[in-house]
């Protein structure tokens, strides 16, 4: 699930806990909607006062929207080198050689988002006992 879709899911009305629009952790009762106009602007949930302050500042500067921050964009860009090294070690670099930076960033963001979504889903369930999952891996 992309960050934008995850944020959109947070905007909906739900009876259960949501996820923090900044860090992706479980929200804990902090919320923000620009000018308190829920019909006009999206609502966001946050895990802490710190994330609330960051989110409120971002939303205020961006007309109610919280998009990828400069730090998030830089972190994805910085991960390209590690991604390239992993591809090389696995002998998979050739198919990715002619890809654009935006395409590589999309792959990195998909992997990071999938990881975060899985951690959040696991956090909502009791701790596993250390055994491998019993469901098939999709590839």
Q: How far is residue 44's CA from residue 9's CA, in Å, rounded to a whole number?
A: 10
Q: State whether residue 94 is helix, strand or coil.
A: helix
| CA end-to-end distance (rounded Å), the chain | 18
86-135 pLDDT, tens digit each: 999 999 999 998 999 989 988 998 888 788 778 767 766 666 666 666 66
36-50 mean pLDDT: 84
Per-domain residue ranges for the chain? 3-61, 70-123
| Confidence check: pLDDT of 15 > 50 | no
Quick one: pLDDT at residue 59?
Answer: 80
Quick one: pLDDT at residue 123?
Answer: 67
Cβ atoms of 46 and 55 within 8 Å: the answer is yes
Higher pLDDT, 92 or 60: 92
Backbone angles phi, psi at 58, to 5 degrees: -60, -45
Cβ atoms of 70 and 76 within 8 Å: the answer is no
């Amino acid at each position: 699930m992309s960050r934008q879709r995850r944020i959109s899911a947070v905007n909906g009305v739900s009876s259960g806990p949501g996820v923090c629009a900044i860090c992706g952790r479980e929200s804990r009762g902090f919320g923000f909607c620009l000018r308190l106009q829920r019909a006009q602007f999206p609502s966001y949930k946050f895990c802490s006062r710190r994330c609330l302050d960051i989110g409120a500042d971002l939303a205020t500067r961006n007309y109610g929207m919280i998009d990828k921050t400069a730090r998030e964009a830089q972190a994805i860009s910085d991960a390209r080198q590690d991604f390239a090294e992993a591809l090389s070690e696995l002998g998979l670099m050739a198919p990715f050689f002619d890809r654009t930076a935006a395409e590589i960033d999309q792959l990195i963001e998909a992997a990071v988002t999938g990881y975060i979504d899985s951690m959040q889903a696991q956090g909502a369930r009791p701790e596993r006992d250390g055994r491998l999952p019993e469901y098939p891996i999709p590839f």
